[in-house]
């Protein structure tokens, strides 16, 4: 088993028992963290001099529709209705299994490049087991750690005559994956279920889907929706009453929630993921990071769709933090209080939202999210001497408020180096080949859907 000793400029473990260490050391053995401390007196097969770097846990992107990578950027001026018309009702229906593969491969590589080591791939464009299999292949081939959340395509009603809201999650596909290649919860790619939930699906479907997820021992996740559009009114409260809402369920957005709604989530141990950049783009309500946190929730963060915004988790983390801080400052003023004397949201909290909290939401916190001995070696190193970074005083301040994807020098996932010296280790020729496939995939999907980006130069 290969061992690697990393001599860090700064070691940010996020493990409260170890803390942050200037000049700390991290020892990896195989795919796991063996030790973390100030001076380990360890010998190793390889030593990495990271004295000019900040060493930190890999970021966790807790919600992304990676299958949309080939359509990146087309929606930056769309509004909500455009998304459903152009994507779910049109472009999504043009996808072949190979389109899911190339989107997931290239989308996951972009995540690695930007310092994300774990991706929750909320794959809701699956119309056959081949679409699912190839989406999983893309994640596996990228080298990322991923939760493949098996979902269903929205226009499924077009084929069956039944509206998608009334179609239960297809058992045979989940069963095939769970009893086959995604049987292990200890593998680099694991399984979850991306379900309609009560805002998008009928009550019978909700009951069926949650029971099925529990039967297979899977976390389920669902999108919330504008209150007046929900299929089941007060659906999550109804789920709670029926014993169907618990720590094995994750909600995404919640931007129309009030305090009572958040209490239902927190009191039942369910989790809530915000995708602040996309929510700022066109959601009617506020991102829930601040309000959820005030109710004792542990926010997690995701990118959602790269059609609207950058997929960089550093940017998402910064947007979430600034939004939450601004919200707390304004709330304090609205309550008639004198100006706050201490910052209401610490930087370290935002780093936890983007690491350990995402891990907790998908039951991965025993494996990732902090640099704790015994956990998997999912590690990111940032160049502390880059022109936008130096000098570094508090490495957490620098990670959360100063750094960007361009500062990511090294990414290790499951003990394997996936980026080094600022370059992906995927292989240049292979990357070029796959890049062409991604471009061809996007062009074909848009051609078949007779969709053009109206403002694009010709
Ligand atoms: Zn989403």
Binned at pLDDT 50, 70 and 90, residue 337 comes out as: very high
The total domain count for the chain is: 2
What is the 348 CA–ligand 1 centroid distance (Å)?
A: 26
Residues around the ion ligand 1 (C-beta < 5 A): 304
**Distance from the CA of 155 to the center of ligand 1, in angstroms?**
16
The answer to whether residues 49 and 63 belong to one domain is no
Q: What is the pLDDT of residue 456?
A: 84
Question: What residues contact residue 183 under an 8 Å CB cut-off, 6+ apart?
Answer: none
Put simply, whether the predicted model's pTM sits higher than 0.95 gets the answer: yes
Same structural domain for residues 49 and 125? no
Distance in Å, CA 297 to ligand 1 centroid: 20
Is residue 167 predicted with pLDDT exceeding 60?
Answer: yes
Residue 438 lies in a domain: no
Find the 358 Cα to ligand 1 centroid distance in Å: 15
What is the model's pLDDT at position 397? 98
Per-residue CA distances from 3 to 39, 72, 225 (Å) = 16, 39, 48
Query: What pLDDT shows up at residue 181?
Result: 96
**In the predicted model, is pLDDT for residue 15 greater than 60?**
yes
For residues 221 and 79, state if they share a domain. yes
Residue 370 lies in a domain: no
Residues 37 and 119 in one domain: no
In this structure, are 314 and 397 located in the same domain? no
Residues 232 and 105 in one domain: yes
261 has pLDDT over 90: yes
Mean pLDDT of the chain: 96
How far apart are the CA of 280 and the centre of ligand 1, in A? Answer: 14
CA of 423 to the centre of ligand 1 (A): 29
Residues 217 and 140 in one domain: yes
Question: 274 and 288 in contact (C-beta within 8 Å)?
Answer: yes
Question: Which structural domain, as residue segments, surrounds residue 283?
Answer: 59-361
Which tens digit of pLDDT belongs to each residue from 427-455? 999 999 999 999 999 999 999 999 999 88
Mean pLDDT of 304-323: 97
Question: Does residue 436 fall inside a structural domain?
Answer: no
> Is residue 203 situated within a structural domain?
yes
237/170 Cα distance (integer angstroms): 25
Task: Indicate whether 88 pLDDT > 80.
Answer: yes
pLDDT of residue 454: 83
297 within domain boundaries: yes
- The pLDDT, as a whole number, for residue 172 is 97
- For residues 179 and 225, state if they share a domain: yes
How far lies 238's CA from each of 16, 154, 193, 211, 260, in Å? 37, 23, 20, 15, 13
The reported pLDDT for the residue numbered 458 is 77
Per-residue pLDDT band at 250 (split at 50, 70, 90): very high
CATH number at residue 270: 3.20.20.140
- pLDDT exceeds 70 at position 156: no
> Same structural domain for residues 302 and 344?
yes
Q: Which of 327, 361, 395 is the last residue of a domain?
A: 361
Q: Is residue 224 part of a domain?
A: yes
Residue 292 maps to a domain: yes
Asked if residue 317 and residue 227 are part of one domain, the reply reads: yes
CATH number for the domain spanning 42: value is: 2.30.40.10
Does residue 157 have a pLDDT over 60? no
Residue 81 has pLDDT above 90, yes or no: no
Q: How far is the CA of 207 from the centre of ligand 1 (A)?
A: 21
Residue 101, domain member (yes or no) = yes
Q: Are residues 37 and 69 in the same domain?
A: no
Using 50, 70 and 90 to split pLDDT, how confident is the model at 159?
low
Q: How far away, in angstroms, is 273 Cα from ligand 1 center?
A: 10
Task: Identify the pLDDT of residue 257.
Answer: 94
Same domain, 242 and 302: yes
Q: What is the pLDDT of residue 144?
A: 98
User: Please, which pLDDT band fits residue 9 given cuts at 50, 70 and 90?
Assistant: very high
State the distance from the centre of ligand 1 to the C-alpha of 224, rounded, in angstroms. Answer: 9
Residues 49-61 have pLDDT tens digits of: 999 999 999 999 9
């Amino acid at each position: 088993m290969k061992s690697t000793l990393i001599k860090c400029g700064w070691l940010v473990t996020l493990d409260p028992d170890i803390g942050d260490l200037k000049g700390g050391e991290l020892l990896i053995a195989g795919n796991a963290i063996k030790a973390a401390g100030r001076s380990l007196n360890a010998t190793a097969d390889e030593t990495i001099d990271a004295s000019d770097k900040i060493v930190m846990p890999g970021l966790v992107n807790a919600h992304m529709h990676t299958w949309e990578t080939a359509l990146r950027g087309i929606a930056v001026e769309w509004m909500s209705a455009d998304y459903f018309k152009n994507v779910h009702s049109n472009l999504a229906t043009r996808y072949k299994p190979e389109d899911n593969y190339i989107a997931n491969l290239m989308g996951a590589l972009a995540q690695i490049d930007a310092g994300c080591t774990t991706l929750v791939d909320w794959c809701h464009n699956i119309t056959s087991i081949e679409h699912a299999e190839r989406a999983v292949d893309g994640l596996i081939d990228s080298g990322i750690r991923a939760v493949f959340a098996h979902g269903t395509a929205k226009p499924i009603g077009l084929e069956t005559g039944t509206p998608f809201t009334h179609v239960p999650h297809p058992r045979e596909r989940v069963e095939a994956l769970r009893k086959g290649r995604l049987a292990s919860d200890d593998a680099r790619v694991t399984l979850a279920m991306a379900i309609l939930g009560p805002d998008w699906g009928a009550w019978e479907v909700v009951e069926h889907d949650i029971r099925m997820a529990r039967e297979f021992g899977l976390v389920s996740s669902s999108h919330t929706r504008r209150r007046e559009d929900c299929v089941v009114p007060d659906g999550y409260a109804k789920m709670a009453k029926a014993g169907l809402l618990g720590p094995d369920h994750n909600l995404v957005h919640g931007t129309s929630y009030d305090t009572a709604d958040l209490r239902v989530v927190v009191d039942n141990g369910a989790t809530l993921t915000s995708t602040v950049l996309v929510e700022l783009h066109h959601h009617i309500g506020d991102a829930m990071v601040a309000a959820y946190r005030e109710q004792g929730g542990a926010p997690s963060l995701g990118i959602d769709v790269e059609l609207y915004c950058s997929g960089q988790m550093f940017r998402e983390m910064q947007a979430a933090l600034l939004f939450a801080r601004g919200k707390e400052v304004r709330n304090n003023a609205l309550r008639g209080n004198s100006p706050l004397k201490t910052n209401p949201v610490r930087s370290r909290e935002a780093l936890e939202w983007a690491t350990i909290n995402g891990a907790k939401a998908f039951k991965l916190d025993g494996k990732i999210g902090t640099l704790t001995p015994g956990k998997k070696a999912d590690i990111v190193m940032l160049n502390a001497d880059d022109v936008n970074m130096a000098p570094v005083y508090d490495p957490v301040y620098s990670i959360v408020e100063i750094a960007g994807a361009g500062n990511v020098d090294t990414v290790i996932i499951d003990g394997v180096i996936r980026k080094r010296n600022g370059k992906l280790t995927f292989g240049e020729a292979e990357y070029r080949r796959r890049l062409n496939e991604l471009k061809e995939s996007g062009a074909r999907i848009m051609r078949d859907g007779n969709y053009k980006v109206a403002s694009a130069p010709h």
